[in-house]
Amino acid sequence: MPMIPAPIKDIQFLAEQLFDVEGHYKKIQQFSDIDAETFETVIDEASKFLFEYAAPLNRNADEQGCSIKDGHVTTPDGFVELYKNYCESGWGSLDGNPEYGGQGLPYWIQVVLGELNSYYCPGWSNYPGLTHGVRELLGHHARQELKDLFLPKLTTGEWTGTMCLTEPHCGTDLGMLKTSASPNGDDTYQITGTKIFITSGDHGLTDNIIHLVLARLPGGPKGTKGISLFVVPKIMDGERNNAWPASIEHKMGLNGSATCVMNFDDARGYLVGEANKGLNIMFSMMNGARLNTGIQGMAVSSASYLGALEYAKDRLQMRSLTGAKYPDKAADPIIVHPDVRRMLLTQKALSEGNRALTYFTTQQLEISRLAESEEERKYADAMVVILTPIVKAFMTETALEVTNLGIQIFGGHGYISEHGMEQLYRDAKIFTLYEGTTGIQALDLLGRKIMQFNHGSLGPIADVINDFIIENPENPYSKELQEYMLQWQDLIVKISTKSMQNMDEMGAASVDFLMYSGYVLLAYFWAQMHQSAEKGGRFGQSFYNGKIKTCEFYFKRILPRAQAHVNTMLSGSDNLMNLKDDEF
């Protein structure tokens, strides 16, 4: 990736002007002293740290990758030192509970730190990212003795964490899980089984790694109802536990991240929460991981856009179709050409729109956890439930488009590794796959979240957008946005009606419905950004002009894609299902 600092001005614009960071935290008692200046200072310092220490490692991390010898995984050169500096500088403990050594800052700041980790060095970002998730899960679900044992060192980053779900014979279908757990007669269990695709499964960054492992107890119910969750440390009671990496995956991208096959052979561990409730407990971490995966997609999109923008301003090729724009140069920079601008604006509109979606979802997540009234918490949680699969799937699918355009803008120079643009594309692909593929997220959104949980309604998300439309009739995009809101709800009714006759209709429509949902949500956020940019502020007129004009581009050139998804999802399932298996 080109060495370009992260877009702190864009981040702060959203926090300060679009989502009113100060007003948001005044409603949350424990963070009432957080203001825009504090938010910006922490984020700016994090960016400076990662630009200095993480960004220079990115290319080598991709080229060198991880290696394994005698059951020990080695990460790329510099990662050990980076991780040590990262934790000693306090970045690993930002939103951690002060009771366990954390700094007690808001989750939103932690989210932006995760964005910056992925922006500067995607292969590095998973090591602190997963540890944060393990810490949160144990904080919510483990008994006090386990919290006291693990949380202090997970909070400071002295130990890292993983989640171990997938097995060789089952991917998303965890009902087929075979890993077993046998009680030892005390408070420990023997865990036996093989897990695959385990991110950060082994490395030398820390002395200990805390694995969260799904396994079955004797006599438990079959299927997903008989799965329990265990915490299995790499080092237990001062001795090496029998949890070893058998191999590491050779991957398309994200090579700096160690992805392991893990063998648990009578490894000792502790039960977390109630027996046979493990999948429910793990979902609290999986949902967080899905949000973080979407953020990774948004971060690499931003990196690709800013790299392509810098290149487009410098690369000279041909003259503008309307005459030389830079007659003192041998040729015009390629940014003058309409098709290059189409690609750059697509990158900008999607990456910046997705950042707004990220921060809105983060705010709602904080409200769902910390608001004083139960009504506010439930209302926000209902939004998070709907938004999570969209954040995960839409933001990662569009990340592939944005990083692909980054290569295209560079031309042949984008295809070679020297400039780092092809790495961003390779790194981005996994984001559409792990923590549940796009198809899984789409079924979750349409089948479970909307049809089952919301009884065929968009719920409070529709309220929020419709309120904006009603309160801002002068906004040039309110009327069009209102039409999409009516269509969005109508699509739910039509798909639901068809699915009553044939459930394949739900599956056939789901991905198109999710992508449609993402485009409409970004239309709402771009209309908001237009509204805010018209009022101006401290970021300079050219900055605000850019937002206003990108909003126009989005509504005229990106949002029309939504109608194509409508045509596809309403075409029915027959064109997918009528072909017999032997006719492919």
Superfamily of the domain at 8-156 = Acyl-CoA dehydrogenase/oxidase, N-terminal domain (1.10.540.10)
208 pairs with which residues across the strands? Answer: 159
Per DSSP bridges, beta strands 159-164 and 180-183 are unpaired
3-state secondary structure 165-224: CCECCECCCHHHCCCEEEECCCCCEEEEEEEEEEECCCCCCCCEEEEEEEEECCCCCCHH
Query: Please, are residues 506 and 513 in contact by the beta-carbon 8 Å criterion?
Result: no
State the DSSP code for 28.
S
pTM of the full structure: 0.97
Given this model, what pLDDT does residue 169 score? 79
pLDDT of residue 170: 80
Q: How far is CA 63 from CA 75, 486, 559, in A?
A: 12, 49, 38
The pLDDT assigned to 1 comes to 57
What does the alpha-carbon distance between residue 286 and residue 169 come to, in Å, rounded to a whole number?
20
Instruction: Give CA torsion, residues 325, 326, 327, 328, to 10 deg.
Output: 170
Instruction: Give 528's contacts (C-beta < 8 A, 6+ positions apart).
Output: 18, 356, 468
Of 219, 407, 196, 185, give the one whose Cα is nearest residue 312: 407
Domain boundaries, the chain: 8-156, 160-276, 438-573
Q: What is the pLDDT of residues 426-469, one digit of tens each?
A: 999 999 999 899 999 999 999 999 999 888 999 999 999 999 99
Cβ(466)–Cβ(485) below 8 Å: yes
- State which residues of the chain have pLDDT below 70: 1-2, 171-172
**Arithmetic mean of pLDDT over the chain:** 96
Helices vs strands, H then E, count in the chain: 20, 11
Rounded Cα gap, residues 199 and 183, in angstroms? 27
CA-based R_g, the chain, Å? 24
Q: Which residues pair with 194 in a beta bridge?
A: 263
What pLDDT score was predicted for residue 2?
59
Residues recognised as catalytic = 435
Neighbours of 27 (CB within 10 A): 14
Which pLDDT does position 300 carry in this prediction? 98
* Structural domain 160-276, CATH architecture: Beta Barrel (2.40)
